[in-house]
Amino acid sequence: MTKIFDIHGKPAGEIKLPAVFSTPYRPDVIQRAVLALQSQRRQPYGTDVLAGKRTSAHYHGNRHYRFTMMNREMSRLPRIHGRSAGWMAFRARFTPHAVKGREAHPPMADKVWEQKVNKREQALAIASGLAASLNKELLKMRGHKSDHSPVVFTDDFESVKKAKQIEELLEKIGLAAELERCREKKVRAGIGKMRGRRYQKKKGLLVITAEDCAAIKASRNLPGVDATTVAGLNAELLAPGCQAGRLIVLTKNAVAALSKKYE
């Protein structure tokens, strides 16, 4: 049984959590599902297919040929030659070990980075991530300042339109330290600070509602807070960085939706 809080932050009864919150903890399945989601966002990259190949260098391999390139006391490589070669005569090109030659095994733009996961595995990862939110040790490992998870609100929570109101409501139920933790940010160590990711921020609580509502947009304006519907729930939201045990906030309708979806 879990307490239900009203829109003023006061207890308004209790509710029984659905059976999905008793799913065994499967970090291997969660990691597989999270990495698959991250792979779908990866941008393919590759070199120019003609890089190092835009040259007239070639090799004559016939020994008994007027313009043969054999018996010249030089390695048998594609070389620039001809009447107009000038100072470039017999300069090796094209091969990977030649100056300005092609790359041996360059990255290919047509490589498929996306990983696929079965639907049942995805569902198991989400169920395991929800169950991990009840584990106090996992919550502590993630750095959360509260072990009271999940927090359930009445359905009036979905009608809140201001981030400030949600912040005040979360502070009333004892999550002030958690919100303060997410306000902190530090400068990243290494070269990444010059590549558009200068600051590192902490992941806070996750707000889950039954349907798209005003509270989702308002919650996302709080630092470190993510918000989604039951239909949009995925393993990466429940386990950022493949580490499960995230502090979650639910509405009463969301609990019913989870019970129906994972019955």
This prediction has a pTM of: 0.85
pLDDT at position 113: 95
Q: Is the pLDDT of residue 144 over 90?
A: yes
pLDDT at position 87: 86
Same domain for 95 and 164, yes or no, is no
* Residues in CB range of 78: below 8 A, 6 or more apart: 55, 57, 58, 59, 92, 93, 94, 95, 98
Q: Residue 108's closest CA among 170, 21, 26, 47?
A: 47
Last-in-domain residue among 89, 112, 135: 112
pLDDT at position 95: 96
Cα(80)–Cα(91) distance, integer angstroms = 5
Same domain for 196 and 85, yes or no, is no
pLDDT at position 261: 92
Question: What are the pLDDT digits (tens) for 89-109?
Answer: 899 999 999 999 999 999 999
Question: Is 93 buried (19+), middle (13-18) or exposed (0-12) by CB count in 10 A?
Answer: buried
Cβ proximity of 262 and 131 under 8 Å:
no
Cα(107)–Cα(194) distance, integer angstroms = 24
Same domain for 29 and 150, yes or no, is yes
pLDDT at position 222: 96
Structural domain span for residue 55: 48-112
pLDDT at position 86: 86
Give the total number of structural domains in the chain.
2
Same domain for 31 and 62, yes or no, is no
Same domain for 199 and 78, yes or no, is no
Question: Where does the pLDDT of residue 23 fall: very low under 50, low under 70, confident under 90, or very high at 90 and above?
Answer: very high
pLDDT at position 224: 94
Q: Is the pLDDT of residue 177 over 90?
A: yes
Q: Is the pLDDT of residue 184 over 90?
A: yes
Q: Is the pLDDT of residue 81 over 90?
A: no
Same domain for 23 and 122, yes or no, is yes
- List the 248-251 sheet strands across, edge first: 11-15, 2-5, 151-153, 248-251, 206-209, 226-229
Same domain for 33 and 10, yes or no, is yes
Q: Is the pLDDT of residue 68 over 90?
A: no
- Give the lowest-confidence range in 29-38, 66-75, 184-193, 254-263: 66-75
Same domain for 175 and 164, yes or no, is yes
Same domain for 64 and 103, yes or no, is yes
